[in-house]
Structure 1
Amino acid sequence: MSINSSFPQNIILEDDFVLLRPLQEFDVDNLLEIAINEPETWQYSLVPAHGKENLTKYIQHAVKSRENKTEFPFIVFDKKSGKYAGSTRFYDIQLPFKTLQLGYTWYGKDFRGTGLNKHCKFLLLQFAFETLGMERVEFRADNNNERSIAAMKSIGCQVEGVLRNHMPTFESEVRRDSIILSILRNEWFDSVKENLKSKL
């Protein structure tokens, strides 16, 4: 199901710490340092972006998915350092069902554990629930990715379960178990929003 005409196509989300804007093909240059020097960033990624060639393909695919109205990728700019930190996106956007997934999130090592992720997630969740009117935002991760799972739990995600032997990794002979987490609309307004805001 594609994004219909009610989905804004030039989304910019920002606060005093971070700015998220639509990812563009020229952003290869803005993210290349991370892609070349930090291959561990994609240890659990289904679509790795290490090295210039992989990063270029990754961004081209993301931009095409936005043009096809199936996903909405962002580049993340850290205002504190004045540097681009990574990328994230909405995907599997099901407007008739009022659901979407939030993922493909990665940051360079200098931006992990700085609070940047919480600022990004607050802006993205606020937009999903309060502008788009979503009823459910889903998150998925490799069940071995302890750092990512801890980060999702810390923003208020509830674990729903694990899809066993769910999908291949980029090491094609290895399959991963995928953990499923989510935040529901009532949870956002009842507690998650204020709890997350208090951590910013």
Structure 2
Amino acid sequence: MPDTAFAIAPSPLTLAGHGVTLVPLDASHVAALEAAAADGELWRNRLTSVPEPGQMAAYVTAALAGRDAGGMLPFAVREDDSGRIIGTTRYHDILAPVARVEIGYTWYAASWHRTHVNSACKLLLLTHAFETLGAKVVGWRTDNYNLTSQRAIERLGAKRDGVIRHHALRRDGTVRDTVMYSVVAGEWPEVKAHLHYQFSRHAA
């Protein structure tokens, strides 16, 4: 195996810590995710991929097909105090020969926006990617108009790689530019320390 590859192959697992648990996504989560998406009517945001009412089963089926094809690893997000499924996230665009993975398809019920949840999920996913899988780089992509997402990614310590022009369709049929970000393995210790510092401030 070349030293550019993952140390171990990504596979379904549960990640837990900092008040959240990421469990492998499956069809049993459809109803809970429908309820989470209804909290804030998240599908009305043209810049995200949250499915409209009645489309969650197809959304989960597509995610599981991506898992079976080897390009995705989707999770349901459970908030530990309530025990509720409040959203979803996943690894995607998994490129084993170069040990690259991206984090995306992330959304949470509106009640959990601007809380510890997003930072907790990202810390779990980044730690697993760099310290268990042996990833060389973790990436993100977002809509050029989704400034909230861009700020959240930048707060993690990710670097902006650039913009891919005229790259992907939005739900309303318009074409977006895609902003790309990444953290490389050598930056992970500092990013990890920063995330733990953020949690210590939140708990104080």
Partner SS, residue 77 of structure 2: strand
Identity among equivalent pairs (%): 32
Aligned partner of 1:176: which letter?
A: R
1:9 CA drift (Å): 2.8
* Structure 2 counterpart of 1:12: 14
* Structure 2 counterpart of 1:83: 84
The CA distance in 2 between the partners of 1:27 and 1:129, in whole Å, is 28
1:82 CA drift (Å): 2.4
- Structure 1: segments with no counterpart, 5+ residues: none
CA contact (8 A) 2:18 2:120 kept: no
Q: For residues 87-137 of structure 1, what are the alpha-carbon distances to aligned partners after superposition, in whole Å with 9 as ceiling and x for unaligned?
A: 000011111101111100001101111111001000100000010101111
1:157/1:16 CA distance change after superposition, 3 Å: closer
The CA distance in 2 between the partners of 1:35 and 1:199, in whole Å, is 27
Partner SS, residue 187 of structure 1: helix
The CA distance in 1 between the partners of 2:187 and 2:10, in whole Å, is 24
Root-mean-square deviation (CA, aligned residues, Å) is 1.9
TM-score (structure 1 length as normaliser): 0.90
Q: For residues 66-94 of structure 1, what are the alpha-carbon distances to aligned partners after superposition, in whole Å with 9 as ceiling and x for unaligned?
A: 12222100000011332211000001111
Structure with greater contact order relative to length (CA < 8 Å, sep ≥ 6): 2
The CA distance in 1 between the partners of 2:56 and 2:10, in whole Å, is 26
1:157/1:8 CA distance change after superposition, 3 Å: closer
Q: How many residues align?
A: 194
- Which structure 1 residue ranges, 4+ long, deviate > 4 Å from structure 2? none
1:160 CA drift (Å): 1.2
TM-score (structure 2 length as normaliser): 0.89
* Structure 2 counterpart of 1:183: 183
1:153/1:16 CA distance change after superposition, 3 Å: closer
Aligned partner of 1:50: which letter?
A: E
Partner SS, residue 29 of structure 1: helix
The CA distance in 2 between the partners of 1:152 and 1:113, in whole Å, is 13
1:17 CA drift (Å): 0.2
- Structure 2: segments with no counterpart, 5+ residues: 1-5, 200-204
Partner SS, residue 31 of structure 2: helix
* Structure 1 counterpart of 2:52: 50
